[in-house]
């Protein structure tokens, strides 16, 4: 018997790790990896809730989430290649042309 709260705590810790990766690292690839980690934390919550309430919907959402992530990664990595061609660097601070 795994307590539901512990599964949620693992997912929360994983989400915090991903969020800190996005905030701390300044290389675009590592920021994307942080986004992946956060999405996986979300899917862990979905699967745990699906098992807790004994409903299949959570697992169906995880399958959809994986497809959406694959689409996101394809576009994001194409943008990484595009940015590399423009400036030969992947440090996020270099792309401040819009003064953000």
Partner 1 sequence: MNTILFYILGFILLAATLMCITRRNPVHAVVYLVAGFFALALMFYLLGAPLVAAWEVIVYAGAIMVLFLFIIMMLGLAPQEVPPGPGWQRWLPLALLSASLMACTLLLVVQDPAAGQGISDYSLAPQALGEVLFSRYALAVEIVSFQLLFATIGAYLLGRPQPKGEEPR
Residue 45 in the binding site for partner 1 (CB under 8 A)? no
Rounded to an integer, what distance in angstroms lies between the CA atom of residue 91 and that of residue 27?
5
| Residue 100 contacts partner 1 per CB under 8 A | no
Q: Does residue 42 interact with partner 1 by CB under 8 A?
A: no
Work out whether 54 is an interface residue with partner 1 (CB under 8 A): yes
User: Tokens standing for 33?
Assistant: 């990896």
Per rule CB under 8 A, is residue 68 in the interface with partner 1? yes
Q: Tell which phi-psi region holds residue 29, choosing left (phi > 0), alpha (psi between -120 and 50) or beta.
A: alpha
Are 27 and 71 spatial neighbours (Cβ–Cβ below 8 Å)?
A: no
Phi and psi, residue 27, nearest 5° = -100, 135
The binding site for partner 1 (CB under 8 A) comprises 1-10, 12-14, 16-18, 20-21, 23-27, 29-30, 32-34, 36-37, 40, 43-44, 47-48, 50-52, 54, 56-57, 59-60, 62-64, 66-75, 77-82, 84-86, 90-91, 93
């Amino acid at each position: 018997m795994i307590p539901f709260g512990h599964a949620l705590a693992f997912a929360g810790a994983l989400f915090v790790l991903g969020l800190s990766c996005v905030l701390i690292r300044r290389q675009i690839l590592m920021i994307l990896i942080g986004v992946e980690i956060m999405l996986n934390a979300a899917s862990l919550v979905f699967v745990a809730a699906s098992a807790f309430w004994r409903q299949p919907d959570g697992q169906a959402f995880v399958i959809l989430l994986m497809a959406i992530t694959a689409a996101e990664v394809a576009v994001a990595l194409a943008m990484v290649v595009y940015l590399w061609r423009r400036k030969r660097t992947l440090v996020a601070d270099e792309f401040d042309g819009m003064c953000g």
